[in-house]
Structure 1
Amino acid sequence: MSDTAILINTAVAVLATVLLIVKFKVNPVIGLILGSLYLGLSTQLGITKTIETITQGFGDIMVEVGLLIAFGVLMGSILNQAGAIRRLVEKLLSVFGPKYLPYSMAVAMSTVLQSIFVDVLLVISAPLARRMAPKIGPMGTARLATAMAISLECGIIFMVPGVGSLAVAGVLGVPLGTMLICGLLLVVPTVLLATLVMSFVFRRGFWKPERDEQHVFEEDDFPQANPSGPGQMPRTPLPNEDEQASAVKLAVDQERKRETSLLLLFAPLLLSLLLIAIGAVTEIAKIHNSVLELVGNPVVALLIGLIGTTIVGRGAIGQQGVQEAITTGFKESGQILLLTGAGGSLAATVAAAGLGDILGGFFSASAVAPLVVVWVIAAVLHIAVGSVTLSAITAAGMLAPIAPALGLDPVLIALAAGAGSLFMIHVTSNTFWLLQSLLGQTVRGALKSVTVGVSVASVIALGLVLVMSIFI
């Protein structure tokens, strides 16, 4: 088949997948598999080869990141149940003060809190941000809203164990230790610079409180620490014995949570990330030590973190609380795993169709052009579909086959794809609406704090990735 035909059919497959998901409301997993089937058959891979490629692509990425995603989500669920998020944000306020709260929150949410499912993290932290906004000043809501939007989205795609970073690393075969170190080097300056830029433009009149904010929350509004749905607010207790007993149990649980050291709650997660980083360093330095190789393996490191979090969680919320958190975590990880696997299937089919060889002829040995192209592809896909992880996986999968020929480290493609997938988060994104409603913004306000804010982070991240490409 000619190169032109392969390019056309690949474009049709991606466009059809987008239309199925956006226009016809087909489940993204089904849409991705249908797009993979069309691409394989239209590029003459044959029925058998197409099915094998789809299933192998799904299986390969599950081998790479399946357990990692599950372990990370379960750790985050236990930490959420233990009230660790609320306590960490309150600690940041007491240590750094209102002036620097947007920056300290941005760094914390984009790094240490990335094991927590993004919607849950947002629902828990939003009421805290609402209460703290007046302490920051007239631009408090705008600054905290954009800091949260930037940190949530950057963290999920750049920082291990964020599900987006795990998925993209799996597609490209990037060692998790390398992804952790490079992602950390990228995400911290990105969120700080983007938050600084947005704070500057807000103070110059970009934010109009009378038009961009809506005061729909009472002063004492505060969602439950483990809500059954986004934005669900606590109901007024009924004066009966069952409700009184539940209130007493809740008070006891809250007291137990306060007794558990915040550092102790996060210690297992921090230990697992440290072990992964040590594993990466020993590999780069070519240090051969069986113990370090074992505990530095990402699967073992995150398993150690999960076991430690479970033990600490029992002391904080009891065995029943841990079991409830694990049940919730399994529900959350299931949909993430399916979407990640289906994205791996499409990426594998794109590679098998020969797109990589064709694109390889369009680029010189320079790393700049491919990185900009993968950013643009991810940005366009995200604008259409609204999924950060899906757009990053698809864009990375398209250019992954040519990385060796260009001498380009796959981690740079992963980071560039992640940066592009952040561009123009808007009304197709569930996170957009959660940030708009839970932080008391109008749609106009959310377009400024979320869409513009995260897009600024996307462009800054691309620039930093290009700088990193000089040294990697």
Structure 2
Amino acid sequence: MIALHTAIAIVMVVVLIIKVKVDPVISLVIACFYLGLASGVGFEETVKAITSGFGEIMAKVGLLIGFGVLIGSLLYATGAFRTMVRALLTAVAAKRLPYAMAVAMSTVFPSIYVDVQVVLAAPVARSTAPHLGGRGLPLMAGALGTGIFTGYVFVIPGLAAISIAGLLGIPLGTWLLFGIIIGPATALVTVTLLRLLLRTGYWKPERDEEPDQAMLEQEAQAAVDTDAQSSAPEERGPSLLLSMAPIVVPLLMIAFGAFAELFEFTNPFIDFLGNANVALFVGLLMAYVMARRIVGGDRTGEAMSEGFHTTGEILLITGVGGSLGAVIEATGLDQMLADLFSADAGAPVVVSILLAWFIAAVLHLAIGSVSVAAITAGGILAPVLGSIHVAPVAMGLAIASGALFALQVNSNFFWMFKALLGLSTQGALKTLTMVTTIASVVSLPMVLAVGLLA
């Protein structure tokens, strides 16, 4: 009966979000109450599990998410993102631009929230597409989509990556060692496969491209900004080195701490420097000082306020994901799931990873949000990690891989992507939905390799 009530709770979340249009936070809390009370946990223990689960995950990732969002908001305000994109366009030949775009989006820009990334980068994708021939637009659109979401789920400080790592208790340094390889590698392979697919007559411009008013306005504004920057070079934003520093320095600090632990030359000071909270705070300080110098105190304050607004929503969803995991643990389902994951003694690692991938993929198909699917899957699977013989990082990466699967029409991002790239609904399905599906499948063998070797 506990398994049945858990299934009902998950379906309840999906139905409330999709059909009734209830906010994910409220939907998850309702599911927590249903599961706790229907499974016999009791009133007091259900509330205790919800609050303790929320508090535990906030202790792990609350500051990390807040610092990451604020860094992204400040980089946006200072024009650092535009500086990095401009440098990319200058440094890379047109034929290689889709690959460069995908890698850059998946490694350098994950601290910037996905909605901001697509708003700022879509005009770049459209303006460079003609240099790639008749299939340039779908190729650049696909590169943009796969880069944004492989970075979001695999690469620190992508918010989905941080959330999954926190829910499963995976050190960010450990995650970084694997994610920084799997994310860009997945993006590169996905773009290559899309390029091959586009050679088959897959793309029909007359049906798949549909310039709309939102896209035209975006391009017009980009042209105005370009003209203004040409006549006023002093307003072009920070230098490339300065723009990248708030992202690169924290990643180097976290990576240094992870390697120090791996090769056993760590000490308390190195542990301090490699601590993810300390590293991201250093990045935030760098971004804050840069913003104060470039755009002034008032605009910096506005950027911080915008970041705080975004942070609150993400923290609530992540925290309630932790609550769901705590309620599942209180029901005793964790042991039942552990038995399921270890049922096949001949291939426990493969079966466990495939199940984790499948759960996240189904949740994403149903809910339409990569982050909510990843957090919900993390909350479901976190209680069983101690009972199965699979490295937690492999399970986390499996959730990330599954949560990528087939981003489509029930996602708000899908419609934003469609409008800003000037695509029809069919064109958006052929680019964004296709590349996220390919990326999810392509990354799975890499995750399996991590599970078998870790």
1:155–1:187 Cα contact (<8 Å) kept: yes
Residue 236 of structure 1: CA displacement?
12
2:370–2:404 Cα contact (<8 Å) kept: yes
1:105–1:147 Cα contact (<8 Å) kept: yes
Residue 287 of structure 1: CA displacement?
2.5
Amino acid at match of 1:287: F
- 1:292 pairs with one of 270, 274, 280: 270
- For 1:337, the equivalent position in structure 2 comes to 315
- Greater per-residue helix proportion: 2
- For 1:64, the equivalent position in structure 2 comes to 60
**Structure-2 separation of matches of 1:20 and 1:72:** 29
Deviations 1:97-133 (A, max 9, x none): 1111111111111111111111011101111111111
- For 1:318, the equivalent position in structure 2 comes to 296
- 2:200 pairs with one of 174, 197, 204: 204
Whether 1:327 aligns to 2:305 is yes
2:212–2:419 Cα contact (<8 Å) kept: no
Amino acid at match of 2:154: F
Q: Which runs of 5+ in 1 are unaligned?
A: 224-232, 238-246
Quickly say closer, same or farther: Cα 1:96–1:217, change in 2 above 3 A: farther
1:115–1:161 Cα contact (<8 Å) kept: yes
Q: Aligned with 1:428: secondary structure? A: coil
- 2:180 pairs with one of 181, 184, 195: 184
**Structure-2 separation of matches of 1:286 and 1:257:** 47
- For 1:400, the equivalent position in structure 2 comes to 382
**Structure-2 separation of matches of 1:44 and 1:413:** 29
Matches within 5 A, 1:58-97: 58-97=54-93
**Structure-2 separation of matches of 1:31 and 1:398:** 15
Amino acid at match of 2:351: A
Q: Aligned with 1:367: secondary structure? A: helix
Whether 1:25 aligns to 2:36 is no
**Structure-2 separation of matches of 1:251 and 1:141:** 25
- For 2:365, the equivalent position in structure 1 comes to 383
Residue 315 of structure 1: CA displacement?
2.7
1:107–1:192 Cα contact (<8 Å) kept: yes
Q: Which runs of 5+ in 2 are unaligned?
A: none
**Structure-2 separation of matches of 1:172 and 1:353:** 18
1:172–1:400 Cα contact (<8 Å) kept: yes
- For 2:438, the equivalent position in structure 1 comes to 456
Amino acid at match of 2:349: A
**Structure-1 separation of matches of 2:139 and 2:120:** 18
- For 2:402, the equivalent position in structure 1 comes to 420
- For 2:105, the equivalent position in structure 1 comes to 109
1:396–1:413 Cα contact (<8 Å) kept: no
**Structure-2 separation of matches of 1:305 and 1:182:** 22
CA RMSD of aligned residues (A): 2.2
**Structure-2 separation of matches of 1:234 and 1:222:** 5
Query: TM-score w.r.t. structure 1 length?
Result: 0.90
Query: TM-score w.r.t. structure 2 length?
Result: 0.94
Whether 1:432 aligns to 2:414 is yes
Deviations 1:1-59 (A, max 9, x none): xxxx1110000010011111111111110000000111111111111111011111111
Quickly say closer, same or farther: Cα 1:416–1:254, change in 2 above 3 A: farther
**Structure-2 separation of matches of 1:422 and 1:460:** 11
Deviations 1:283-311 (A, max 9, x none): 22233322211111111111111101111
**Structure-2 separation of matches of 1:259 and 1:339:** 34
Quickly say closer, same or farther: Cα 1:336–1:236, change in 2 above 3 A: same
Amino acid at match of 1:284: L
84-93 or 167-176, which deviates more = 84-93
Quickly say closer, same or farther: Cα 1:453–1:218, change in 2 above 3 A: closer
Matches within 5 A, 1:112-261: 112-216=108-212, 221-222=217-218, 234=221, 255-258=233-236, 260-261=238-239
Residue 403 of structure 1: CA displacement?
2.6
2:360–2:374 Cα contact (<8 Å) kept: yes
